[in-house]
Structure 1
């Protein structure tokens, strides 16, 4: 299956990564043949070099370089936080209308066994801005509550720590819908029972702004939402909540 290419020139390529696809093979997934790197190599006929990561369950804007030098220049922009990343996610409950989650995060390392990730090292600064776009109240019971409350949120992480958005919203007590690591099992079960064909991690990298390493043009690349997310939002549109 070919990837949706959002931008491409002789230096770099930007795709709309589908949910469920690894960016590249890892030590825990050595036997998997399918990943963005492999697909793009076959699709473009060139070697590609990853610049940043999106979790396997996350869809959206992903940029890769066609040479190590371009990869180095782009990577420095992410390291120096001169890029602008915008995500959209569906979370449990009614979160605040806007805010900043300023909560340091320690490094996560992949681990084999029951717990896939292990916290290691000292905590580092992590800041995530958010704006609530819509609230929903669905008349189905969840745990001890009579209704399921959800919020559709626009998010801008400043740093990009591993699982930063997912960990921050868990800390904020509004975990992401469909998150198997940090989510609410009660919400996940209800949503999966209601819409099994569209159940996934409800996190999408909607936009990425960065400076082209050669032309120095400021690029803004937007990625449309996946069908699964738009399907869920369409179904939720009947349950918009106005305070």
Structure 2
């Protein structure tokens, strides 16, 4: 088993995490044997330190540091919102134009990990910028209310890093991400599984832009999308929009 490296220097390594892969070992899933952290360590031949997180079902760019000091610097940069994060998502409905959602989120607790957590804490500020990239209308009645079904390719840029923020914010906008089994629409998830053999969360961490923690130079890292994305782009005519988003981003 291996992992795709997308960047490496003396201090950093970035990988393209596949959907379903845990970042590191967790007692919440004691039966799992593959982890991004261990696979990255094996690929580069040294210990690596995680500096941010990706949800298990989310694919894409995951950054590690090669020593503890660099890891602290990067963790601070993420915490102080000095790292620009760009995601791609496929959502239900037409989401056109662009906007900025400032919608606080209550803490989302795990039954086991957060068994003794304080459930009375106030909601945390959460901000997401979004931009519609392309759209499609299919002649399929996934829901009984509509004769056709609409979907959008969108770019998401979280300004904060709350748990499941993008998934919860898209659900709040009534444009849930396809494949989201926690906050999404089961009818549309089922349609994509059956019609396109797509059984994953369609959320991809495409890009990180930051100052290099050692050299100070501007650094932009990106991770290519997988076969599910390319298959859907082929079916929906989204080749140009997807290629443009991956190549240059959308300002």
TM-score with structure 2 length normalisation?
0.89
Q: Pairwise mapping of residues 160-179 of structure 1 onto structure 2 (< 5 A)?
A: 160-179=161-180
Partner of 2:189: 188
Distance, in Å, in 1 between the alignment partners of 2:152 and 2:180 is 15
| Matched residue SS, 1:129 | strand
| Matched residue SS, 2:62 | strand
Give 4+ residue runs of structure 1 displaced > 6 Å after superposition. none
Partner of 1:123: 123
**Residue-pair matches, total:** 234
Distance, in Å, in 1 between the alignment partners of 2:42 and 2:4 is 14
Structure 2 residues without counterparts, runs of 5 or longer: 239-251
- Contact kept? 2:96, 2:133, Cα under 8 Å: no
Distance, in Å, in 2 between the alignment partners of 1:108 and 1:35 is 23
Tell me the alpha carbon deviations over residues 151-196 of structure 1, each in whole angstroms, 9 at most, x when there is no partner: 1001100011111100000011100000010010111111111012
Q: What is the CA-CA distance between 1:29 and the residue it aligns to?
A: 1.1
Distance, in Å, in 2 between the alignment partners of 1:102 and 1:152 is 21
Distance, in Å, in 2 between the alignment partners of 1:222 and 1:60 is 8
Tell me the alpha carbon deviations over residues 32-76 of structure 1, each in whole angstroms, 9 at most, x when there is no partner: 120101111211221111111111111111100111111100000
Structure 1 residues without counterparts, runs of 5 or longer: 239-243
- Contact kept? 1:128, 1:158, Cα under 8 Å: yes
TM-score with structure 1 length normalisation?
0.91
| Matched residue SS, 1:41 | helix
| Matched residue SS, 1:22 | coil
Distance, in Å, in 2 between the alignment partners of 1:83 and 1:107 is 23
Distance, in Å, in 2 between the alignment partners of 1:84 and 1:67 is 22
- Contact kept? 1:104, 1:125, Cα under 8 Å: yes
Distance, in Å, in 1 between the alignment partners of 2:164 and 2:208 is 17
Q: What is the CA-CA distance between 1:107 and the residue it aligns to?
A: 2.2
| Greater fraction strand | 1
- Contact kept? 1:131, 1:154, Cα under 8 Å: yes
Q: What is the CA-CA distance between 1:119 and the residue it aligns to?
A: 9.2
Partner of 1:220: 220
Root-mean-square deviation (CA, aligned residues, Å) is 1.8
Q: What is the CA-CA distance between 1:109 and the residue it aligns to?
A: 2.9
Partner of 1:81: 81
Q: Pairwise mapping of residues 105-144 of structure 1 onto structure 2 (< 5 A)?
A: 105-112=105-112, 120=119, 121-144=121-144
